[in-house]
Amino acid sequence: MGTRLQGKVALITGAGNGMGYATTKLFSQEGATVIAVDIRKDDLQKWGNTENVIPMHADITNLEDIERVIGEADKRFGGLDIVCNIAGINDLCYPLEDTDDERWDNVMDLDLKAPFRICRRAVKSMEKRGGGSIVNVGSYAGVRGNHGPSYTAAKHGLIGLTMSIAVWYSKRGIRCNAINPGGISTNIGAHSGGDYHPEGIGMLSNLMMSFPVAIVGEPEDIANAALWLCVDESKHINGAILPVDAGASCC
């Protein structure tokens, strides 16, 4: 067990699998008390015997669930020190003409509106503890056009949200940074509501194969970056958009 986050209270969304699971595991090992949020009850069961992880079932597209989760942190711990917005889906590479309003709304609601609402509520909670660190997990796709319009727009919007929070809340001791993963070995496609668009995934696959770098990483790569952005040694890093993609964003 480490101590780099000893005494900190963290809220992590998507904590039941993938990047959220890896981040929850690492943060708890470093001494944080983690409120582990996921919409899948079965995935949360793996945290049942972890002393400093509090699993909470919630739908973060629901405003009442967000209030309930952060309200619990306020009641039990007097606020939050850390928020990691990791939960998300992608648009399964559906191009513009095949993107209906439902797909657009589903992606926007979870990937952009939910982090906006969580951050809006969390800054009040962080102020109670004298400040804090927010990490928003975006995507390489947020700065490139290799996915469909809904996912690209949502993740690009998350960058703007991150930068705005960084400017407005730095004077209150709250930092906000974003991580843009490249390809990560997770099951996001299976959780995104169907099959990949054949033409869209074909284009993305061809692009990835043409890169001179192997861009697929592991969830732990994102967890390690998130940890760095939340420890005291990174206190002068604010408003940064950190690519964790083995150099793919340089291509």
DSSP codes, 84-147: EE------TT--GGG--HHHHHHHHIIIIIHHHHHHHHHHHHHHHTT-EEEEEE--GGGGSS-S
DSSP code of residue 244? E
**pLDDT, block means (10 residues), the chain with 251 residues:** 94 97 98 97 92 97 98 97 97 94 97 98 96 97 90 97 98 97 75 79 78 84 98 97 91 76
Name residues whose C-beta falls within 8 Å of residue 199's C-beta, 6 or more positions apart in sequence.
95
Burial of residue 140 (CB within 10 Å: 0-12, 13-18, 19+) is: buried
Q: Is 151 in the active site?
A: yes
DSSP code of residue 211? S
Name residues whose C-beta falls within 8 Å of residue 56's C-beta, 6 or more positions apart in sequence.
35, 36, 37, 44, 69, 72
Name residues whose C-beta falls within 8 Å of residue 151's C-beta, 6 or more positions apart in sequence.
90, 91, 107, 111, 139, 141
Candidates 94, 151, 169, 196; catalytic one: 151
CA–CA dist 79, 76 (Å, integer): 8
Q: What is the pTM of this model?
A: 0.94
The string of pLDDT tens digits covering residues 48-69 is: 889 999 999 999 999 999 999 9
- Domains along the sequence of the chain with CATH: 9-250 (3.40.50.720)
**Strand 174-181, strand 9-13: pairing:** unpaired
State residue 208's pLDDT score.
Answer: 74
Q: What are phi and psi of 41, to 5 degrees?
A: -60, -40
Please name the residue ranges forming H helices in 2-62: 18-29, 41-44
State residue 186's pLDDT score.
Answer: 73
Q: How far is CA 223 from CA 164, 179, 242, in A?
A: 23, 10, 13
The string of pLDDT tens digits covering residues 148-194 is: 999 999 999 999 999 999 999 999 999 999 999 988 887 665 566 67
